[in-house]
Amino acid sequence: MSVTAPQVPMDLSGDPRRQRRERRVRSLFFVAAALSIIISAAIVLSLAGEAWGFVTAVDPASYFENGWLPRRGRYSILTIVWHTLMVSGIAMVVATPLGLGAAIYLSEYARRNVRRFLKPTLEILAGVPSVVLGFFALNFITPNVIQPLYAADRSNLLAAGIGVGILIVPLVASVSEDAMRAVPRALREASYGLGAKKWHTSLRVVFPAAISGIVAALILALSRAIGETMVVALAAGTSGILTWLPDSSGLTMTGAMADLAIGSDQVTSATAVQVNPFQSLFFVGLMLFVITLVLNVLSERVVRRYRQKY
Amino acid sequence: MAETTSTAPTTTDLVRGTLEGRRVNPVNTLVSGLLLIALLSSLLVLAVLLADVFGKGWGLLTERGADFLTTPLSPNAVDAGIFQGVMGSIALTAIVIVVAFPLGVAAAVYLEEYAPTNRLTQFITTNIRNLAGVPSIVYGLLGFSVFVNLFSGATGGRTVITGGLTLALLVLPIMIITTSEALRAVPTALREASMGVGATRWETIRHHVLPVALPAILTGSVLTVARAFGETAPLLLSGAVLSLYFAVPPEAGFVSLMTEQSYTALPMIIYNWARQPQEEFVALTSAAIIVLLAMLLIVNAAAIVARDHFERKST
């Protein structure tokens, strides 16, 4: 009579100490990842509180009057938003042809060894701190490039726009180059097989195939241009008066924030100040946050929605 | 045979002629020329920028020598140095490394190695990408509300700790994204092999995934830290001092310089000097920019050296 030993299934769960450590490590890492949610919440909360104080204290009708002069209690959102639009518009006019041209060249034309030299150089340009480009825009672009051609003040929005444009060229170039390199080789080969020339293949086949990534790159660059501070703070000056042309000084959204932050405009006169100018900083910050967030989400949507699957 | 080729072209020659003859296509040349001009003009801007800054600042820098780095700030352009700026920038960078590097790597390890594919993970990933796009000056407002006001007891208000923490939060999302990319590049087979012989997930990560990903993580992190090094806008709000006067003399020592007084940073000094209308400050600003760019270059070179070192070690 055979006695079968009670079958104990082999314990595969391992050393309980190791398991505990595993769980500890895992939860530690989770906390680090979840911290990003706390940061987002902190941004929104810290902005919204003070911004609300501003909204309740300032008559919305005055948003559309002329002049961002916190010292005199004048908060023209129109002024700073228009100046921001001008600067980022000029920046896009500068960065789009340069960035896309560079991207197409690097992706389609450059030989491997040329590319290996040119790409890092473009990355160096991306690494130049914005305060350096601000200095360059103020002390080189304005006197040597703009003023000989166009009667502009020493501080002007045009120089700021060009400076910001230079700053975002590497972003446009690298993101859209990635998009174009992701286009499968078969597409190019099919185009050549039909007798198309190199330029035709690059511009009429590869470029349209990568258009979702390219549009996303441009939206991302616009978002960066709107949020860029130091170039504008140095090159565009501190005038809070509305100007329709980029030939004179003007505060943008970020410029107004920098100006308030360094306190050059914090001197409150006894008259007409019913709101703490510092609160307006948070209101503009919140606007900036929302605008850039919408643009970033939009850029991601464009990629996901219009990407061609190969 | 020679006669036939000389009298009438063969079919081969005709075909070759039409194919090769069209090699130089005017449109092709024009397009590639224009594209190359677009690329080169961005690089030309870089060259002009460097030439301009060096032309304006090199003289002052060679004349003043190391003195420029060790003399404190002064309202007189003649004897102004950047001592506090260099010290402040080094201290800020140290805080950024200590805070953002471990947090960034930990978050990336969670997202790449542990996280289940669910709504929460999706939300965290999207959130990190969006945080990376928030303008840096908005982080300054965050630093002001949270570190200057809310936790002033812990940070001491407008101190270098406040600035460092603000910059750390600014670069954290970028740190997570670059580390995630580095981890994703590690082959899955490595993890499977390790877990197949009984290692836990953490053991696998620690002994196999991280060592392989380390060169890429380090390079990405250093580039990210370099970004923080040149950042100015968040410091405007999180308490860096703009004043041309600066109370603490260099003799006071590093610790007291950083803890007892408000701080400043090299990019802040550049910003402040660039705003001065007097002509003398142009050379001064340019010299400070050269120092900033040189320090960035050193940081980046360190990244390359570190990467080479670890790559050699792992193979």
Q: What is the pLDDT along chain A (310 residues), one digit of tens a residue?
A: 455 555 666 666 678 888 899 999 999 999 999 999 999 999 999 999 889 988 888 888 888 888 888 878 888 999 999 999 999 999 999 999 999 999 999 999 999 888 888 888 888 888 899 999 999 999 999 999 899 888 888 899 999 999 999 999 999 999 999 999 999 999 999 999 998 989 999 999 999 999 999 999 999 999 999 999 999 999 998 888 999 999 999 999 999 999 888 875 444 444 444 567 888 899 999 999 999 999 999 998 998 887 766 6
Q: Which pLDDT belongs to residue A8?
A: 61
What residue ranges of chain B have pLDDT lower than 70? 1-9, 14, 17-24, 241-261, 311-315
* Domain limits for position B37: 22-57
Same domain? For B37 and B154 the reply is: no
Determine the Cα–Cα distance for residues B160 and A95; give it in Å rounded to an integer. 36
Note whether residue B5 is domain-resident.
no
Same domain? For B95 and B209 the reply is: yes
What CATH number does the domain containing B281 carry?
Answer: 1.10.3720.10
Please name the member of A30, A35, A97 whose beta carbon is closest to the beta carbon of B103: A35
Q: Do B137 and A47 touch (CB under 8 A)?
A: no
- Nearest-Cα distance to chain A for B10, in Å, is 23
Q: Which pLDDT belongs to residue B4?
A: 46
Same domain? For B31 and B119 the reply is: no
Query: Which of 64-93 (A) contact B at CB < 8 A?
Result: none
Helices (H), chain B: 2-7, 11-21, 26-64, 67-70, 83-109, 119-132, 136-143, 152-155, 160-184, 188-196, 201-204, 210-230, 233-237, 254-259, 266-275, 280-314
Helix (H) or strand (E) holding A75: strand A74-75
Provide DSSP, B177-225: HHHHHHHHTS-HHHHHHHHHTT--HHHHIIIIIHHHHHHHHHHHHHHHH
Of B5, B30, B57, which residue sits at a domain end?
B57
Question: What amino acid occupies position A126?
Answer: A
Q: Which pLDDT belongs to residue B50?
A: 95
Q: Do B146 and A293 touch (CB under 8 A)?
A: no
The residue of chain A with its CA nearest to that of B107 is: A33
Query: Which of 280-299 (A) contact B at CB < 8 A?
Result: 281-282, 285, 288-289, 292-293, 295-297
Q: Which pLDDT belongs to residue A136?
A: 96
Q: pLDDT for B216-246, tens place per residue?
A: 998 889 889 998 999 999 998 887 766 655 5
Contact B131, A40 (CB under 8 A): yes
Q: Do A121 and B43 touch (CB under 8 A)?
A: yes
The residue of chain A with its CA nearest to that of B102 is: A32
The residue of chain A with its CA nearest to that of B41 is: A98
Same domain? For B30 and B134 the reply is: no
Q: Which pLDDT belongs to residue A183?
A: 93
Q: Which pLDDT belongs to residue B245?
A: 58
How many folded domains does chain B comprise? Answer: 2
Q: Which pLDDT belongs to residue B252?
A: 60
Note whether residue B228 is domain-resident.
yes
The conformational region for residue A272 under phi > 0 = left, psi -120 to 50 = alpha, else beta, is left
**Domain architecture of chain A: domains with CATH:** 60-306 (1.10.3720.10)
Q: Which pLDDT belongs to residue A12?
A: 63
Same domain? For B94 and B49 the reply is: no
Note whether residue B17 is domain-resident.
no
Same domain? For B225 and B285 the reply is: yes
Please name the member of B46, B137, B231 whose beta carbon is closest to the beta carbon of A258: B137
Q: Partners of A75 in the beta sheet?
A: A68
**Residues of chain B contacting residue A116, judged by C-beta atoms under 8 Å apart:** none
**Residues of chain B contacting residue A131, judged by C-beta atoms under 8 Å apart:** 230, 232, 267, 270-271, 274
Q: Which pLDDT belongs to residue B262?
A: 73
The residue of chain B with its CA nearest to that of A201 is: B28
Q: pLDDT for A64-110, tens place per residue?
A: 888 888 878 888 999 999 999 999 999 999 999 999 999 999 999 99
Of B39, B57, B75, which residue sits at a domain end?
B57
**Residues of chain B contacting residue A230, judged by C-beta atoms under 8 Å apart:** 232-233, 267, 271
**Residues of chain A contacting residue B41, judged by C-beta atoms under 8 Å apart:** 98
The residue of chain A with its CA nearest to that of B204 is: A22
Q: Do B42 and A173 touch (CB under 8 A)?
A: yes
Residue A241: how many CB atoms within 10 A of its CB? 14
